[in-house]
A = this chain, B = another copy of it.
Amino acid sequence: MTDLVTFGETMALFAARRTGPLRFARDFDLGLGGAESNVAIGVARLGHSATWVGRVGADEFGDLIRATLLGEGVNTEAIADPGAPTGLMIKGRRTADLIDVSYYRGGSAGSRLAPADLDPALIRGARVLHLSAITPALSASAREAARHAVAEARAAGVLVSLDVNYRRALWSPEEAGTWLRDTIGDVDVLFATVPEARLVADGGVPAEPVALAEALAALGPRHVLIKSGAEGAMELSDGVVRHAEPYEVTEVDPVGAGDAFAAGWLADWLAGATPGQRLRTACAAGAFAVTSQGDWESLPRRGDLSLLRRGADGVSR
């Protein structure tokens, strides 16, 4: 039994150490990343059990992913696929303010995820099923796996959470919009940025958080979260709109903020927090995640959230 089940593609990640065009970057760190495993780590750090399912290559990078997730306390089914390699991400820093991410994931092990990889009993025994709209863009079998998982969760009354996470490298806005509109009726919690919300909403809806949230909620989700980065976030739940002020932090690495936000919200939902508290935790987790390096290394524990307000000289000893 696990509180949260998620699935998707997690990749090895080469992250450039210096700011500038990637071809001059020279030094890279090896790590890993994936939107759904980031959420699983985030939920685990905030005190709930989480399970991640996905395919990796039967290679060193697959081993790295399995070992890291296990080490982070995530129940991990990293299925070693001998027929394809683990996908790769390359992460550069084009300027101080712009991260560049590219992928080598075509035909990867992760993209070969299939419905049979997802044990129905695992899903039915969970309290939350979380997925992102990256998975349906990976392959036909991955799309079918997503459909299957959502159907299982629905049938068992498991909360279905979806983060749009639009990736233009994988599919067009039109393709994404079609899949999202087909799926949203089965979704309980939807996470989106304003541009992502517009992929789903009718073109006539104003490009404004509350209007978009209302349009999306009308399609099914009981909870719609619209993230506006450094401008904060809003939630429309059961017809009630809540706004959250952003935290002022010094940004070190923006990647992973959205996953942290989802993890914070879902962890507090699992903990039975009030809607107001839940939204504040989501914002705090998102803010904290940008204050240090790494897609997931920077995800907070409960105690870290208080560090957002620094002490006298910024030194703790």
Contact = CB atoms under 8 A, between A and B. Distances in A.
Interface of A: 14, 16, 18-30, 59-61, 63-64, 66-73, 85, 88, 92-104, 106-107, 167-169, 193-195, 229, 249-252, 254-255, 257-258, 288, 291-294, 297-298, 307, 310-317
Contact of A293 (B19, B60, B88): B19
Give how many copies assemble into the complex.
Answer: 6
Contact of A312 (B21, B102, B195, B255): B195
Given A20-B298, A71-B67, A71-B68, A104 B104 contact: yes
A163 to B, nearest CB: 13
A39 to B, nearest CB: 16
Q: Which A-B residue pairs are the 9 nearest by beta carbons?
A: A71-B71, A67-B71, A20-B292, A95-B291, A96-B250, A22-B60, A101-B317, A23-B64, A19-B292
Given A67-B71, A102-B317, 17 more contacts: A14-B28, A19-B293, A20-B294, A21-B298, A22-B60, A22-B64, A23-B61, A24-B294, A28-B29, A94-B307, A95-B310, A98-B316, A107-B107, A194-B312, A229-B313, A257-B313, A258-B313
A315 B71 CA distance: 27
Nearest to A57: B102
A137 B257 CA distance: 42
A297 B24 contact: yes
Contacts of A16: 30
